[in-house]
Amino acid sequence: MSVSQVKRAFKYRFSPTDAQAAELSRTFGCVRKVYNMALAARTEAWTRQERVNYNATSAMLTEWKWTEELSFLNDVSSVPLQQCLRHLQVAFTNFFGKRAKYPRFKSRRKSRRSAEYTTSGFRFKDGKLTLAKMAEPLDIVWSRPLPVTNNAVGIDVGLNHLLTLSTGEKIANPRHERQDRARLARAQRELSRKARGDGANRAKARRKVARVHARITDRRRDHLHKLTTRLVRENQTLVIEDLTVRNMVKNRSLARAISDAAWSEFRSMLEYKAQWYGREVIAVDRFFPSSKLCSTCGTLQEKMPLGVRTWTCDCGTTHDRDVNAAKNLLAAGRAVAACGAGVRPQRSSPDGRSAMKQEASRREP
């Protein structure tokens, strides 16, 4: 079974010059021409109960370019022409897999004018994009910057602060469940007073409880989405701790707070969005002593009770517990990037959807 990689796309407007517009028009026309010719060839072979694959159509394209009638195909970049053959191959694969209808010919009037360039068909340098066969870069309206970065960040999760970054930034824990705890308790008391035989009133009370739960879940998920999107956009490498949340929630005094923080959901979002953006998430082994290790000199403290929030190392450096842990996580992540030691691998998930499905089974209540 083949699984496709989910990637995030970004759209920008641009204003081509007259020469660029003419070049693009030629490219669109050639893409449509090649696609229709390849489809016709494959259809003819199909009537003879023969199959023609991408490699065969690619060889046909080479032959077409050598003919006098189709020599104009050499005037445009070969990359979008090859890509349209790949698109046709995908269309036939979906047809044979009974996921789509038989491919249709592209119409000059009705079909969308488009061409796809891979990395070998364009040059992006100093914020300027130049397509193959074009002398000048496109005049693009950069409505938002491309998420291109080499930054790395260590992320320490907690309860007093939801996240502490190796940069020193601390992100507050909204505690969404605690904010609506009184409202939820009131709705649950009203539900408990409704007899099981009282159909309409009990159903109304049950919906009221469900709405409070949905409000808590929606606010929590919205906050995590905004937070993870920002972190993934700003950083190429993100280092977290491989926490076993399922074991941690067995602690009755912390279970409710840990579930409200939704560390597992945060990690799930971070991982599948990292795949969208081509980022890397590194999970450091949970036994790594990130809190007890001095990020300045490397001295390991014997004990570090949870109540200690700041401490001073023998080297004279005073540490904030969480910031120090985040810095140590970042250092450990960089070490694994260099030699692959001391961490656990990122949870395998072929695409963002499967990552979310894997996380759904272990998400906090």
Show pLDDT as tens, one digit a residue, over the chain (365 residues): 333 445 667 889 999 999 999 999 999 999 999 999 999 999 999 888 888 899 999 999 999 999 999 999 999 999 999 999 999 999 999 999 999 999 999 999 888 899 999 989 999 888 889 999 998 999 999 888 776 878 999 999 999 899 999 999 999 999 988 888 888 898 888 888 887 777 788 888 889 999 999 999 999 999 999 999 999 999 999 999 998 888 888 888 888 888 888 899 999 999 999 988 889 999 998 889 898 899 999 889 888 888 888 989 989 999 999 999 999 999 998 888 776 554 444 444 434 444 434 433 333 33
Structure tokens at 84: 């349209």
State pTM to two decimals: 0.62
Q: Which residue among the candidates 23, 156, 271, 364 is catalytic per the annotation?
A: 156
Q: What is the 3-state secondary structure (H, E, C) of 133-193?
A: CCCCCCCEECCCCCCCCCCEEEEEECCCEEEEECCCCEEECCCHHHHCHHHHHHHHHHHHC
Alpha-carbon gap, residue 352 to 358, rounded angstroms: 10
- Phi and psi at residue 13, in whole multiples of 5°? -90, 150
Q: Which residue among the candidates 23, 177, 241, 260 is catalytic per the annotation?
A: 241
CA angle, 238 as apex, 236 and 239 as ends, to 5°? 150
- CA nearest neighbour of 175 among 188, 158, 187, 189: 158
Alpha-carbon gap, residue 61 to 39, rounded angstroms: 12
Q: Are 269 and 222 in contact (CB under 8 A)?
A: no
- Containing 343, the helix (H) or strand (E) segment is strand 343-344
CA angle, 359 as apex, 355 and 364 as ends, to 5°? 155
Structure tokens at 307: 């109540």
Alpha-carbon gap, residue 205 to 190, rounded angstroms: 7
Backbone CA torsion sign across 246, 247, 249, 252: positive
Q: Which residue among the candidates 23, 177, 265, 322 is catalytic per the annotation?
A: 322
Alpha-carbon gap, residue 198 to 338, rounded angstroms: 65
Among this protein's residues, is 156 annotated catalytic?
A: yes
Among this protein's residues, is 285 annotated catalytic?
A: no
